[in-house]
Amino acid sequence: DTGVSQNPRHKITKRGQNVTFRCDPISEHNRLYWYRQTLGQGPEFLTYFQNEAQLEKSRLLSDRFSAERPKGSFSTLEIQRTEQGDSAMYLCASSPWRDYGYTFGSGTRLTVV
Amino acid sequence: EDKVVQSPLSLVVHEGDTVTLNCSYEVTNFRSLLWYKQEKKAPTFLFMLTSSGIEKKSGRLSSILDKKELFSILNITATQTGDSAVYLCAVNSGGSNYKLTFGKGTLLTVNP
């Protein structure tokens, strides 16, 4: 499979619990992005990696959020002490160097109850 | 703050109709404008536009950018039920060459 893979596809969690999502980008893409999308809205930028370096974090990403991309391959997004407002679709995308035409994954839909 | 506004927010048409979706933007240091189609899940890339007045075409879809008036349109001719989706417009701007600012999207419903 040559697409962007995200796991899990769906996650239901109780408020206050921690959750972790995984993204496997297209193997030759060195750029990886996380976006969040709520109902009726376009995706909003969360963070960006170039290889293993996290180069930018949105102010939307509170201290409860952390993302990693060890060895410049897959990435994880962790949300600690989840709140109901964290309920959203979390999208991962990747692109090669100097190409703005991202390839998105299918997303992880998080529901906090 | 960068802003991307799409109109209309939703649109219902019959198969065979032609539709025009609009995207206007207010950003600093514009680099490119992109259109995506989103069905149930992942947005899929349609077009990237960087130069004014040059139309991009793919089958029944076409798009053009006006950098002077700060807008783009996406045209779909001879619509089919499979065109039903949310169409997202995004702009790459500012000091970064990687972050996209998206509009809210236009929900297109094509009825048989």
Contacts of B72 (CB under 8 A, 6+ apart): B22, B23, B25, B33, B35, B49, B63, B64, B65, B66, B89
- Classify the C-alpha dihedral B58-A34-B31-B1 as positive or negative: positive
According to DSSP, the β-strands at A108-112 and A10-13 are parallel
Reported as half-sphere exposure (CB side, CA atoms, 13 A), residue A109 has a value of 8
Average the pLDDT over each of A1-5, A52-56, B3-7 and give the range with the smallest value: A1-5
Q: What is the pLDDT of residue B94?
A: 64
Average the pLDDT over each of A1-5, A50-54, B7-11 and give the range with the smallest value: A1-5
- Is pLDDT above 60 for A71? yes
Contacts across the A-B interface (CB distance below 8 Å): 55
Residue of B nearest to A99 (CA): B98
B31 interfacial to chain A (CB closer than 8 Å): yes
All residues of chain B having their beta carbon less than 8 Å from the beta carbon of residue A104 are 36, 42-44
| Percentage of chain A modeled with pLDDT above 70 | 96
- A55 or B12: which carries more pLDDT confidence? B12
A41 interfacial to chain B (CB closer than 8 Å): yes
Interface-testing mutation among A100, A102, A103, A109, with chain B (most B C-beta atoms within 10 A): A100
Contacts of A5 (CB under 8 A, 6+ apart): A23, A24, A105
Mean pLDDT of A68-79: 94
According to DSSP, the β-strands at B10-14 and B106-111 are parallel
What span, in angstroms and rounded, lies between the C-alpha atoms of B78 and A73? Answer: 42
All residues of chain A having their beta carbon less than 8 Å from the beta carbon of residue B99 are 33, 45, 48, 56
Q: What is the pLDDT of residue B93?
A: 78
* Nearest residue, CB atoms, B103 vs list A42, A50, A101: A42
Residue of B nearest to A108 (CA): B41
pLDDT digits (tens, 9 = 90+) for A2-42: 799 999 999 999 999 999 999 999 988 889 999 999 998 99
Average the pLDDT over each of A45-49, A57-61, A95-99 and give the range with the smallest value: A95-99
Instruction: Verify whether the Cβ–Cβ distance A100 to B96 is below 8 Å.
Output: no
Contacts of A65 (CB under 8 A, 6+ apart): A46, A77, A78, A79, A80
pLDDT digits (tens, 9 = 90+) for B59-105: 999 999 998 899 999 999 999 999 999 999 999 876 666 788 999 99
* Torsion-angle region of A95 (φ positive above 0: left; ψ -120 to 50: alpha; else: beta): beta
Residue of A nearest to B45 (CA): A101
Q: What is the pLDDT of residue A110?
A: 98
Place of tokens 């090669």: A96
How far does the CA of residue B3 sit from the closest CA of chain A (Å)? Answer: 12
Q: What does pLDDT average to over chain A?
A: 92
* Tokens found for residue B13: 């048409």
DSSP B54: P
All residues of chain A having their beta carbon less than 8 Å from the beta carbon of residue B102 are 42-44
